[in-house]
Amino acid sequence: MSTPPRADRAIEETDRFRPRFDAAGLMPCIAVDAATGEVLMLAWISEAALAETLTTGFAHYWSRSRGALWKKGETSGAVQKIVDVRTDCDQDAVLYRVEVALREGTCHTGRTTCFYRRVRPGPGGLDRPLDFDPDEGGSQ
């Protein structure tokens, strides 16, 4: 994994897009439902995925498991129409605000978000229970 150097003001205050991909050519991308504000998923984008998104107006990602560019919803129907694309201060992360065509297809488990479990807080290490969000039953 790369460790990008600390971004400077030239990156933070510029009005030019200068996306900073990691050593593998990827960066993390957050997808948010523009209507509800809900965080839907965290996925990865390549330069090509980001260019496709900006050109077509539909969310594209890079699948690390398949090693392929991926138009979200191409098979499931849960396409994500772009409302806007934002970059962060040091331009090494991107946020897609989207309109969702098929809410239940957002997560491949049949849920409307990938973040359907809460981690139980309190003292201790990381081996601890998860609580399912009762609003997120999924298709199973």
Interaction with a copy of itself in 77-96: which residues (CB under 8 A)? 82, 84-89, 93-95
Q: Is 129 in the site for a copy of itself (CB under 8 A)?
A: yes
Shortest distance, CB of residue 62 to a copy of itself, whole angstroms? Answer: 10
Shortest distance, CB of residue 103 to a copy of itself, whole angstroms? Answer: 15
Residue type, 85: V
End-to-end CA distance of the chain: 35
Alpha carbons 101 and 126: distance in angstroms, whole number: 36
Given a contact cutoff of 8 angstroms between Cβ atoms, the answer to whether 21 and 47 are in contact is yes
- Copy the structure tokens of residue 50: 């980001």
Interaction with a copy of itself in 45-64: which residues (CB under 8 A)? 47, 50-51, 54-55, 57, 64
* Closer residue to a copy of itself (CB): 51 or 102: 51
* Closer residue to a copy of itself (CB): 77 or 128: 128
CA atoms lying within 13 Å on the CB side of residue 90: 11
Q: Is 4 in the site for a copy of itself (CB under 8 A)?
A: yes
Q: Is 68 in the site for a copy of itself (CB under 8 A)?
A: no
Q: Is 38 in the site for a copy of itself (CB under 8 A)?
A: yes
Alpha carbons 41 and 43: distance in angstroms, whole number: 6
